[in-house]
Structure 1
Amino acid sequence: MLKALLQVLISKVGVVDTATTSLISGEAVVPAGVSAKENRVSGTAPFSGYAVATVKCSASVVNLIVNSKTFEQVISNSSKEVLFQSVHAPCAKGDTVEVAVLAQSNGALELRFFPINNGK
């Protein structure tokens, strides 16, 4: 009975397919003499699933925006330096997904998409 319930749940929710991904990358650039600068990377979700925004630089604010609405926001404590952050959000195929950061140092910005395989 438990197996049947789990199969129904998985068929409704789906399973994240980590073998298939799509990557959009960019760079956070903070000019010399500036303490922080806003940087953005955006793209269109190639399939339904999850978007993962990875920030590989020191950033005090990280926003993950889906269809012009902030889905998740991370504000780092300014007293400690965070050099690597990752935020996640569900998305549908064709959604506009964007990561916006208030970067304090140069580094990489990535948007990676993972599809959900629920048999559809």
Structure 2
Amino acid sequence: VAAAYAKTLTYYGAKSGDAKAKSTAKALLDGMWGNYQDSLGIAVPETRTDYSRFNDPVYVPSGWTGKMPNGEAINSSSTFASIRAFYKNDPAWSKVEAYLKGGAAPVFTYHRFWAQADIALAMGSYAELLE
């Protein structure tokens, strides 16, 4: 959201000459870069409680069975996690597992492609139009 807003302010400031729009765009971009950058990109930590749904049943029509591509059985007792055992190979799985056992909700920093692309485009627009 901050990147989209910075990009909007950049285009507005470039066309109108509005100094406040330009300085606000720069402040947003500098703030993201200075406060939320890590070795993978720019992102903020998120506390996620939706992992509690990993043990939710998956609807499978009565009498139907099958297998996932990796061989896991699909049947009327399948859960989200039971047909996605590969999650257990993730180095951060212990945080999710602890949460599923009643611990604190895990905190992860997701570097979503769309967000990284939007930030990069906002920075590029600012550089092209205002620097």
**TM-score bracket relative to the smaller structure:** under 0.3
Larger of the two Rg values belongs to structure: 2
Q: Judging by fraction of residues, say which structure has more strand.
A: 1
Q: How does the TM-score come out when normalised to structure 1? A: 0.23
**Per residue, is there more helix in 1 or in 2?**
2
**Structure having greater relative contact order (Cα 8 Å, sep ≥ 6):** 1
